[in-house]
Amino acid sequence: MIERKPTFSPTLDQKAATRVGQDMYGLISKLYPICRSMTGEGVRTTLRVMQERIGGLKIHEVATGTPVFDWVVPQEWSIRDAYIKGPDGRKVISFANSNLHVVGNSCPVHQSMPLSALRAHLHSLPDKPNWIPYRTSYFKESWGFCLSHNQLASLPEGDYEVMIDSSLTDGHLTYGEMLIEGETADEVLISCHVCHPSLCNDNLSGISLAVAIAERLSEFRLRYSYRFVFVPVTIGSITWLSINEGQLSRIRHGLLLANVGDAGKITYKRSRRGNADVDRAMQTVLRESGAEYSIIDFIPYGYDERQYCSPAFDLPLGCFSRTPHGRFEEYHTSADNLDFVKSEALAHSYATILTTIWVLETNARYLNLNPKCEPQLGRRGVYRAWAEQSDGGGAEMALLWVLNMSDGEHDLLDIAARSGMRYESIVKAMRVLTQCGLLSQPAVT
């Protein structure tokens, strides 16, 4: 039973927008210190914090060794502490200060070695001497530390004590999933990765945006069901796809959210199909936004669109970012921090996604029920009905376009594109005409 909620509207006043941006920033701040990795307690803790906001979020555990398509669920990595002590016995690097200091998935080590030998295990960024890089070593057993190049340069010769108290043991891969049920079983998939440690834009921003969207959608009656998936990148989406392979045909539209909090313009990367409804919807929303934006074609590189858009699935899923994957210099460094993401940018991303969802919710093909010549609009009170809706201008043209193009071949996005009118004017005309009995949705075939 779907409870009776109001129809979804994306409209947000300035005050509410500000508050949403601050809430998103707040969640990022809360999740920032947690040491996430592909598996382990970091992801679990993150998902539990998110549950405080979206109670419907379910935490799933998939056991080490489970086969998932061409892959196997890996062992679980745990880390308790790590440090390097200098020749004088003082800690020069401590995991407690920043979880970026330890190469992700490092095997345990505790030994003493001269700086000359230690260097092979130390990673820094000569071009960005104040920043700590983020490194992982998922596919071969090794260990390492990351530090700023300045600190590396200042290390005196001598013997160092290195300690990483970690373990790789059978356990689980953890992911979160939440379904907001709509009026149909057709789904919109919203996915983000949750495996990066203390990096804000990549991808605490995506997580906080998904949480805010889920909170908002829960308040409304929806046409589609919305499935939120929070997974470690690559192995997480592969695992999720493997488990849910039989249900994928329900997915009508999809969005991957990543890097949505920096000050750059929005970048949308199309689905592999290139002309999926979500691509057309996003293009319409961005074109009408008045803000600068960029739309790029699918390439089989990036985040989990690599899996969702693999040829056997080819899901209609695009990627929503501000400055995308690898295109900002703070990417995968300690500079992707709480200063790098902005609540205004988060709020703008939020509003853009909500509007896109509204377009997907409203877009459909309609049938003009009076297709022989124009109907007599005046005697039906159409203009009165129009006035009752929030204004948009161009009333008559929008009505005529919707009547003329609603032949069962063109959806509202097509009509907006061909008429050059704003999508919301087309929706308004559709509503007025439906109300007057001049338009209907075709029977589902």
Would residue 293 be called left, alpha or beta, if left means φ above 0 and alpha means ψ between -120 and 50 degrees? Answer: beta
Q: Strand 58-63: give its sheet, edge to edge.
A: 58-63, 172-180, 225-231, 187-193, 251-257, 317-321, 266-269, 293-296
Q: Looking at 259-267, 346-354, 365-373, 423-431, which segment touches a second copy (CB under 8 A)?
A: 365-373
One of 312, 339, 443, 444 touching a second copy (CB under 8 A):
312
Q: How far apart are CA 270 and CA 283, in angstroms?
A: 9
For residue 203, whether the previous peptide bond is cis, meaning omega lies within 30 degrees of 0, is: yes
Quote the least distance from Cβ 400 to a second copy, whole Å.
Answer: 4
Instruction: Check residue 373 for interaction with a second copy (CB under 8 A).
Output: yes
Instruction: Check residue 55 for interaction with a second copy (CB under 8 A).
Output: no
* β-strands 67-68, 365-368 pairing: unpaired
Contact track, a second copy, 144-183, x by CB under 8 A: ----------------------------------------
Quote the least distance from Cβ 245 to a second copy, whole Å.
Answer: 7
Residue with Cβ nearer a second copy (142 or 184): 142
- Picking from 328, 189, 175, the residue whose alpha carbon sits closest to that of residue 261 is 328
Check: CB of residue 360 under 8 Å from CB of residue 281.
yes
The length of the chain, given as a count of residues: 445
Residue with Cβ nearer a second copy (163 or 400): 400
* β-strands 76-85, 91-94 pairing: antiparallel
Contact track, a second copy, 289-308, x by CB under 8 A: ----------xxx----xx-
Quote the least distance from Cβ 419 to a second copy, whole Å.
Answer: 7
Q: How far apart are CA 62 and CA 51, in angstroms?
A: 19
Contact track, a second copy, 13-52, x by CB under 8 A: ----------------------------------------
Quote the least distance from Cβ 265 to a second copy, whole Å.
Answer: 23
Quote the least distance from Cβ 407 to a second copy, whole Å.
Answer: 4
DSSP code for 144:
-
Q: How far apart are CA 328 and CA 186, in angstroms?
A: 36
Residue with Cβ nearer a second copy (105 or 419): 419
One of 6, 67, 311, 393 touching a second copy (CB under 8 A):
311
Instruction: Check residue 65 for interaction with a second copy (CB under 8 A).
Output: no
Residue with Cβ nearer a second copy (113 or 400): 400
Give the amino acid at 205: S
One of 376, 390, 393, 444 touching a second copy (CB under 8 A):
376
Q: How far apart are CA 349 and CA 344, in angstroms?
A: 9
CA 394 and chain centroid, separation: 35
Q: How far apart are CA 382 and CA 395, in angstroms?
A: 10
Contact track, a second copy, 400-419, x by CB under 8 A: xx-xxxxx-----------x
DSSP code for 203:
I
CB atoms within 10 A of CB 11: 10
One of 5, 26, 71, 391 touching a second copy (CB under 8 A):
71
Residue with Cβ nearer a second copy (52 or 69): 69
Contact track, a second copy, 233-272, x by CB under 8 A: -x--xx--xx--x--------------------------x
**Binding to a second copy in span 120-139, by CB under 8 A:** 139
Quote the least distance from Cβ 307 to a second copy, whole Å.
Answer: 4
Instruction: Check residue 432 for interaction with a second copy (CB under 8 A).
Output: no
Quote the least distance from Cβ 398 to a second copy, whole Å.
Answer: 10
Quickly tell me which residue has 């939440």 as its tokens. 178
Q: Quick one: CA torsion of 343, 347, 353, 359, rounded to 10 degrees?
A: -170
One of 397, 414, 431, 435 touching a second copy (CB under 8 A):
397
Quote the least distance from Cβ 279 to a second copy, whole Å.
Answer: 16
Q: How far apart are CA 11 and CA 357, in angstroms?
A: 12
- Picking from 152, 155, 160, 157, the residue whose alpha carbon sits closest to that of residue 130 is 152
- How many of the chain's residues bind a second copy (CB under 8 A)? 41
Backbone angles phi, psi at 111, to 5 degrees: -160, 170
Residue with Cβ nearer a second copy (46 or 239): 239
CA 346 to each of CA 211, 257, 259, 420: distance values in angstroms, whole numbers, following the listed order: 12, 12, 10, 29
Give contact residues for a second copy (rule: CB under 8 A).
Answer: 69-71, 139, 234, 237-238, 241-242, 245, 272, 299-301, 306-307, 309-314, 368, 370-376, 378, 396-397, 400-401, 403-407, 419
